[in-house]
Amino acid sequence: MGNISRTFGAFVSLQRSTLGWTQIRLASEVGRGEDWMSLVERDMQQVKDLTLLQRLADALGVDLGELIALPQPASERARSRPRKVASATLANTSAAEEDDVRRRPFMALAAAALFAPAAGQQAAHARAAAPLAGLEDLLLYGAPRIPTLRSEPTQESVAAALLTSRREFKAARYDTLATALPGRIAAAQMVGTTEDRARNVAQLYNIAVRLCIKIGTDNLVAITADRALGAARAGGDPLITAEAQRMVSSSWRRQGSLARATDIVVVAAEELLADTSVPEDSRLATRGDLYATAAYTAAKSGDRFYAHALIREAADSAAAASRSSGLLDGVQGVALHELSVHYELGDAGRAIEMAATIDPGALPTPERQARFFTDVARAFDQWGKPEQCYRALLAAEEAAPQEVRRGAVRDLATGLLRHDRKLPGVRDFAARAGVQII
């Protein structure tokens, strides 16, 4: 096929496109997440495991030998830039070093995996990794490098910090939130009864998961979601636990376990609905959120019937909660998920039609507005309309500048570079999104 000069990632991307598959489809075929597949196709992720290579070959319908023969630039870059032991990539450890690695405690191994991307990944993720360093320290080491708290925390200060954290996320002030969260979590662990501490910590970790989804890695999402669920169960609040289960579902989805991710939130929704200790409007609103998450995940797996059934259930629950409470937040959230469902199922036309019924100015937060415009951009990209895609991305950036660092935006910006001549400023936008431009 004349692949001598083609890189591993370019070859995988071409074969996937030939099959008409999305990145998440191929990722699910080999048991990995969408972010991982994106890195592979951009030659920023080594693939050396023979079992994984065989899965890729089988999914793409090519010979294993053909894949193995292709150059992997990420591997070459990692070897050309030796690094200190503390930040060395585990995959490049020599045989003698591997014996030492096996003797390390689990947390040290996890730290190396989280803190040390391959050299080829560094530029793309440097801005995303730095703000989360304090959270990584908290998760892995009990926050040895968190600054000393300015004053003794109180229940009032913890409650205020929780409210501020929610506001910062909604305002898409991700760097500010990432810097402050470790100290806020540490403070929440010091105040109140055992149950109070657990509930406050769980809520902060739930916010941390959403932050990691925006600017972190799948590994960080997974460990943070696990902490959130553990604390939520200890706190005993059904609504906080349901939200933590939703975060765990998101983690499983990002790792490519789509069926399990769907089941987690469907079961959580039905358990919550049966819990009469929670006010009905709150149960219905949270059930709507859970089913909307399930619908999005089902759509990613290509299950059209199930995805549509779940999003209808989500809409019904959100509407019932809105009639009782008078609030529209849940209805708007489900509508945004439905837009994503149409996109994930390949129905770009339906996604655009639905987007036309949503007034972005009525969306209450910059984060939600930016998410809307990003999904619109994805739909236009799927529809083959680069100019409209680019305009939507610029609108997303205007609403929330830090949103452009998301992996989905980087992927779109990379694709738009092909239309450089007719999209003024697209190269600068791509650079702001973290795309490496050669």
- HEC string of the chain equals CCCCCCCHHHHHHHHHHHHCCCHHHHHHHHCCCHHHHHHHHCCCCCCCCHHHHHHHHHHHCCCHHHHHHCCCHHHHHHHHCCCCHHHCCHHHCCHHHHHHHHHCCHHHHHHHHHHCCCHHHHHHHHHHHHHHHHHHHHHHHCCCCCCCCCCCCCHHHHHHHHHHHHHHHHCCCHHHHHHHHHHHHHHHCCCCCHHHHHHHHHHHHHHHHHHHHHHCCHHHHHHHHHHHHHHHHHHCCHHHHHHHHHHHHHHHHHCCCHHHHHHHHHHHHHHHHCCCCCCHHHHHHHHHHHHHHHHHHHHHCCCHHHHHHHHHHHHHHHHHHHHHHCCCHHHHHHHHHHHHHHHHCCCHHHHHHHHCCCCHHHCCCHHHHHHHHHHHHHHHHHCCCHHHHHHHHHHHHHHCHHHHHCHHHHHHHHHHHHHHHHCCCHHHHHHHCCCCCC
Under 8 Å CB-to-CB from 156, ≥6 apart: which residues? Answer: none
Mean pLDDT of the 122-132 span: 51
169-180 per-position pLDDT tens digit = 999 999 999 999
pLDDT at 143 over 70: no
pLDDT at 112 over 80: no
pLDDT at 83 over 80: no
- Domain chopping of the chain, boundaries: 8-80, 117-252, 256-345, 372-438
pLDDT at 113 over 50: no
**Residue 149: predicted pLDDT:** 55
pLDDT at 422 over 90: no
**Residue 390: predicted pLDDT:** 95
**Residue 282: predicted pLDDT:** 92
Mean pLDDT of the 323-331 span: 79
Task: Report the distance separating Cα 146 and Cα 144, nearest Å.
Answer: 6
Tell me the average pLDDT of the chain.
82
Q: pLDDT confidence of 227, banded at 50, 70, 90? A: very high
Percent of the chain beyond pLDDT 70? Answer: 83
Sign, Cα dihedral of 33, 333, 264, 135: positive
Question: Highest-confidence range of 13-27, 50-64, 245-259, by mean pLDDT?
Answer: 245-259
pLDDT at 200 over 90: yes
Question: Model's pTM, two decimal places?
Answer: 0.69
**Residue 17: predicted pLDDT:** 81
Say if CB 416 and CB 389 are below 8 A apart: yes
**Residue 147: predicted pLDDT:** 53
CATH of domain 8-80: 1.10.260.40
pLDDT at 81 over 70: no
pLDDT at 86 over 70: no
363-384 per-position pLDDT tens digit = 989 999 999 999 999 999 999 9
